Amino acid sequence: MSRQQAIDSATAYFDQGTFQSTLARRVAIATESQEPGKIPVLTSYLTEELAPTLKGLGFDCKIIPNPIEGGAPFMVASRTESAAAFTVLTYGHGDVVRGYAPQWIEGLEPWTLKIQGDRWYGRGTADNKGQHTINLAALEQVITARGGKLGYNVTLLIEMGEEMGSPGLREMCEQHGDLLQADLFLASDGPRVSATRPTLFLGSRGAFNFELKLNVRQGAHHSGNWGGLLKNPGIRLAHAIASMVDAKGKILVPKLLPSSLPDNVKKALANIEVGGGPNDPEIDPDWAEPGLTPTERVFAWNTFETLAFKTGNPDAPVNAIPGYAIAFCQLRYVVGSDNENFLKHIREHLDAHGFTDVEAVASRGEAAEATRLDPDNAWVKMAAASITRTTGKTVDILPNLGGTLPNDAFSKILGLPTVWVPHSYAACSQHAPNEHMLGSVARESLQLMAGLLWDLGDEGAKIAA
């Protein structure tokens, strides 16, 4: 069989309803990793849902306990060929965020796949069940079209805790690196830049979450009796934040910024536009770092965000000066940032500006570091050319995603070049009610992944050598 026949088979997989029925079955499994007591359900998704499909494709499946106590297990599935010239590591996550069933619009529910026009609704359709279902289906068509021989090995890693920050993933990669040895990491998650254009992204921005706290006294005190005599922590904390980021979002602490914006990153982003979709918010053109394009600001620079701010009782304010204030803040950062010393730099800045009473602490939870593969890498060029050959479309190449994925586990711990091919789009409501994927994108993604997985068999050995 030929490359085109593999693509045609992937198209038929969608058109004949097989993709729909497979995805519906997976969406129906309520794999909410953020809910307590879900380990049996999370494990079942691996052993009862994915393993039979993978074994039918020649994979040997292993369940790996999470190195962190109480964490969900991992599955590592390996498909090897005796004459294979290289190995591809792929990845997905089977867990989803909470369903929030009462908040979905009438007629929709999180655990039932429902199609309305081009929108396929259901929890996990976009993040990430729909995406890894596309990749596995495309792989199946290529294996069949090539007579059972890909010409390369494939290892699949599925985790069940990504929506909780991937606890144990990095430790698992460190402890079981022998099972995950590969020449290329190729996987799918996150959104395209635009629903109508295929996208590659080569890493992700990191996320550093921290809290700024000011606790000046116990309890609140009447503003009429004590106003003008007592320090207001809300006002003081607001000024502490304003010393770090100005009224237009520009970061004012030089040590919280990246060292540079590389020329080839600027070149890769030059023709990419963000926003403008029917459900996208309107971009504020004068926000954040001046002198950068909107695309550069979200994909190639650092941003400071105040996610939440609380002082007193916002739900029932009273005429009293509060005793405390707290702000939950975040730095999204790119490669070239001194992220290991962010907290130190924040502390030094606050002290230098007279805010010695403001406490700065890192928030708990797993922290994913910033990663970025060189846009000129040979694997990137091959993948982009393959997708253009299949779709006839120019591919948007992002040196890194604006959001954060656990890509550092693969690029830094395992030392792999990382190429992501997202099958979703920015307005998919992936962490909100009414999550959906687009049927048109799913169909095209099945085609382009079949072409890419075929081309790896023809061209990958030369790149891996």
Structure confidence at residue 5 (pLDDT): 97
Q: What is the mean pLDDT of residues 139-144?
A: 98
pTM, whole model, 2 decimals?
A: 0.90
Structure confidence at residue 395 (pLDDT): 96
Query: In sequence order, what are the beta bridge partners of 419?
Result: 186
Q: Is the confidence at residue 46, as pLDDT, over 90?
A: yes
Q: Nearest 10 degrees: CA dihedral of 379, 4, 157, 198?
A: 60
Q: Is the confidence at residue 258, as pLDDT, over 80?
A: yes
Structure confidence at residue 275 (pLDDT): 78
Structure confidence at residue 38 (pLDDT): 97
pLDDT bin (cut points 50, 70, 90) of residue 278 is confident
pLDDT bin (cut points 50, 70, 90) of residue 375 is very high
pLDDT digits (tens, 9 = 90+) for 88-119: 999 999 999 999 999 999 999 999 999 999 99
CA 148/CA 22 separation, integer angstroms: 22
Q: For 287, how many CA atoms within 13 A lie in the half-sphere containing its CB? A: 12
DSSP-derived pairing of the beta strands 396-398 and 199-201: parallel
- Spell out the long-range contacts of 427-431 with Cβ–Cβ below 8 A and sequence spacing 24 or more: 427/195, 427/277, 427/278, 427/279, 427/280, 428/125, 428/126, 428/127, 428/191, 429/126, 430/97, 430/126, 430/127, 430/191, 431/97, 431/127
Q: Is the confidence at residue 66, as pLDDT, over 70?
A: yes
For the chain, the helix, strand and coil percentages under 3-state DSSP, each to the nearest 5: 35, 20, 45
H or E segment to which residue 128 belongs = none
Contact 179, 78 (CB under 8 A): yes
pLDDT bin (cut points 50, 70, 90) of residue 366 is low
pLDDT digits (tens, 9 = 90+) for 200-248: 999 999 999 999 999 999 999 999 999 999 999 999 999 999 999 999 9
Structure token pair of residue 221: 């005190």
Domains and CATH numbers, the chain: 3-204+370-464 (3.40.630.10), 206-268+285-362 (3.30.70.360)
Q: What is the mean pLDDT of residues 111-136?
A: 98
Number of H helices, E strands in the chain: 14, 21
Q: What is the mean pLDDT of residues 31-57?
A: 97
pLDDT bin (cut points 50, 70, 90) of residue 403 is confident
Structure confidence at residue 368 (pLDDT): 80
Query: In sequence order, what are the beta bridge partners of 437?
Result: 120
Structure confidence at residue 365 (pLDDT): 66
